[in-house]
């Protein structure tokens, strides 16, 4: 734990990007998320940690309304993005998801070329007026995802032909290409080897300068490495939320302490 190169902890900007108030999520009869209140800051990496099944991924999927695709899921409470309630009737989830990008646990590139993978979002949102602009967006996104140098000569090859770590960075490039404000990452490194994990983590740290990044992870070391803020979930409750350093060095709650010292989880 001590030799981990911790990310810069000082949070430079304190604007609240997402605020959740009394969020409850039910899957049918199961009460999956209980009374979650959290304020996620802009230009910060926030990590959600906790044992399996504690609801951290569920809560993450609430932020871009991906839970809407699960028919039995029901959400109560209020989640606001820049002060606007995203569960308001007038909000179109499709528009929301353009602002709140998502990277999934398993790399899931489209079975299309690398170029088309990245260009898909800008195309459907009409972010470019011509091919040159689209090329520019694709290059910028791939550079942003630290993948450009590896794929610039084979943009027309299928994205599924890349290695696991490259695929995940391609997915990040795809998410970045729609110019989101928030980037949600659901255990982005769980299917990757340590080297690819290191590359993705480095990337996450770079992304912090432009986006508010929320990352779900079951690796406490990863949370400590990449995040400035950490939220600990347990059995659907948000147990503790604070500066990453504080959570790992002087946890306030006994459950947090038990988890980070490896006694539960």
Partner 1 sequence: MTDLPMPQSGAMPAPKSSLMVADARTRRRNAAEKRFRLYGAGAIGIAMIALVVLLSSIISGGAGAFRQTYLSIPVALDAETLDPKGNRNLDEMSKVLTLSYGKVLDRAVEAAVASSGIEIAELAEKDIDNLVSKEASAHLRDRVLADPELVGQTVDVNVLVNGRIDGYFKGRVTMESAAADSNTSPQQLMLADALREQGVLVTRFNWDFITNPDASDQRPEAAGVGVAILGSFYMMLVVLLLAVPIGVAASIYLEEFAPKNRWTDVIEVNISNLAAVPSIVFGILGLAAFINFAGLPQSAPIVGGLVLTLMTLPTIIISTRAALKAVPPSIRDAALGVGASKMQSVFHHVLPLAMPGILTGTIIGLAQALGETAPLLLIGMVAFVREFPAAPPEGLFDPASALPVQVYNWTQRADPAFIERASGAIIVLLIFLFCMNLLAIFLRRRFERRW
Q: Which residues bind partner 1 (CB under 8 A)?
A: 64, 66, 69, 71, 94-95, 97-98, 101-104, 106, 108-111, 120-121, 124-125, 158, 160, 171, 174-175, 177-178
Query: Cβ of residue 135: shortest distance to partner 1, in angstroms?
Result: 18
- For partner 1, give the closer residue by CB, 151 or 171: 171
Measured distance CA(146)–CA(149) in Å, rounded: 7
User: Is the Cβ–Cβ distance between 1 and 13 less than 8 Å?
Assistant: no
Query: Cβ of residue 166: shortest distance to partner 1, in angstroms?
Result: 16
- For partner 1, give the closer residue by CB, 59 or 241: 59
Tokens at residue 127, please? 């972010």
H or E segment and range at residue 49: strand 45-49
CA angle 47, 48, 52 (to 5 degrees): 140
Query: Cβ of residue 108: shortest distance to partner 1, in angstroms?
Result: 4
- For partner 1, give the closer residue by CB, 147 or 224: 147
Query: Cβ of residue 179: shortest distance to partner 1, in angstroms?
Result: 10
Residue 103's SS3 state is strand
User: Is the Cβ–Cβ distance between 217 and 200 less than 8 Å?
Assistant: no
- For partner 1, give the closer residue by CB, 120 or 148: 120
Please name which of 115, 252, 243, 124 lies closest in space to residue 179, comparing C-alpha atoms: 124
């Amino acid at each position: 734990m001590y030799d981990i190169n911790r990310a810069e902890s000082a949070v430079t900007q304190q604007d609240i990007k997402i605020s959740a108030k009394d969020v409850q999520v039910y899957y049918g009869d199961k009460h999956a998320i209980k009374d979650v209140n959290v304020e996620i800051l802009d230009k910060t990496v926030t990590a959600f940690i906790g044992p399996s099944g504690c609801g951290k991924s569920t809560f993450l999927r609430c932020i871009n309304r991906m839970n809407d695709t699960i028919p039995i899921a029901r959400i109560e409470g209020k989640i606001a993005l820049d002060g606007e309630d995203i569960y308001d009737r007038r909000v179109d989830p499709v528009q929301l998801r353009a602002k709140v990008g998502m990277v999934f646990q398993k790399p899931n590139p489209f079975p299309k070329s690398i170029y088309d993978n990245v260009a898909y979002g800008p195309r459907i949102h009409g972010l470019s007026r011509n091919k040159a602009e689209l090329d520019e967006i694709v290059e910028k996104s791939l550079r942003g995802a630290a993948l450009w140098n590896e794929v610039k000569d084979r943009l027309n090859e299928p994205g599924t032909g890349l290695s696991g770590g490259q695929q995940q960075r391609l997915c990040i490039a795809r998410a970045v290409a729609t110019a989101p404000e928030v980037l949600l990452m659901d255990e982005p490194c769980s299917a990757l080897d340590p080297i690819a994990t290191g590359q993705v983590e480095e990337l996450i740290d770079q992304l912090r300068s432009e986006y508010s990044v929320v990352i779900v992870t079951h690796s406490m070391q990863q949370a400590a490495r990449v995040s400035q803020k950490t939220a600990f979930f347990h059995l659907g409750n948000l147990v503790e939320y604070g500066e990453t350093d504080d959570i790992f060095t002087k946890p306030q709650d006994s459950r947090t302490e038990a988890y980070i010292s490896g006694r539960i989880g």
